[in-house]
Structure 1
């Protein structure tokens, strides 16, 4: 993900792509046509690359994660705890079944409880494996989706709040301050 100050290698490439988009935007194209075309475009490009930190700071993008991601984390932790209920039930059936067999009262009831405990235990283990797979899959997917959204937000803010106003100011367009507001 790009750095807010535009110093990382990935940020440098993204910054140049946003710069090209800004130079191709309608507002900047009109101002360039009025001020001399291609030489002015190359001059603007060089000035923007030199003022990379100031432009990124003017964009003022916040890279914090959304609160919705915290709710997703809560749900995934909760989903990991759900197999604990059948595991406790299985342990209860097994302890009760072995106790019944030990007391020599009615062995068929004890054996039935042990069988029930083993079945519930197997179901709990299967649920735990399934939940672990779901947890790792969704956390990886959620992280990449959040990173992509943050990158898009960064690029849009850089374009609209940093790059285009800077280029228009550099072209001394009297309408640039009105458009920036």
Structure 2
């Protein structure tokens, strides 16, 4: 019975292995060395062969995979998890403070617009009324209100400019270090995963598929790799040897039994009568 699962390939990574295999088969016609897919063996048959030989194929990228798993386990360690949790909490607090700052920024932007609009309306209506004869008594009141809102508009613009400048300086001083400290481990994990994927594709899957296409005796239902892939050992289990003992082996002698001697008594003449 052949072994169809990879002992060193964790269950959570088998889906990634199948995804890389499917991508290689999907883009097989873009590679000249895999252009024969579909002539003798189709993509589904090659996929079955590669899944049956998972152990043999992943052996080619064992070093990269061990490094990837190590980095991932370090990322999942309690110390790293606590650090990430603190980073998330800090980011949440930062988002909350940014939410308050965002509201203030909205008010700072809207205040000049609203005040400027009011000033424009009051001044326009006030000057139009000033042109009438006789001049209405509330025309001067409208002009006063218009100039007041004009002053409010100028003050609001100044306050908004100062607030935006302070916000930009504060974000520039805090966001870059936080991003660097929070993204260090995920970047390392991403690089380790990419290295494993590349090694698995270039040193494992593609050589296996090329050998399968070049071997006319390859059996799609077999887990044994094509015979041209000599660098990958054949892994399997053979049944115990239940052969009979050899003919020349020494056997014990069987006990022999002889029947008892039931001969009749020896009767002679009168001179030999028993006493």
TM class by smaller structure: 0.3 to 0.5
* TM-score normalised according to structure 2 size: 0.32
Larger radius of gyration: 2
The TM-score, its normalising length taken from structure 1, stands at 0.47
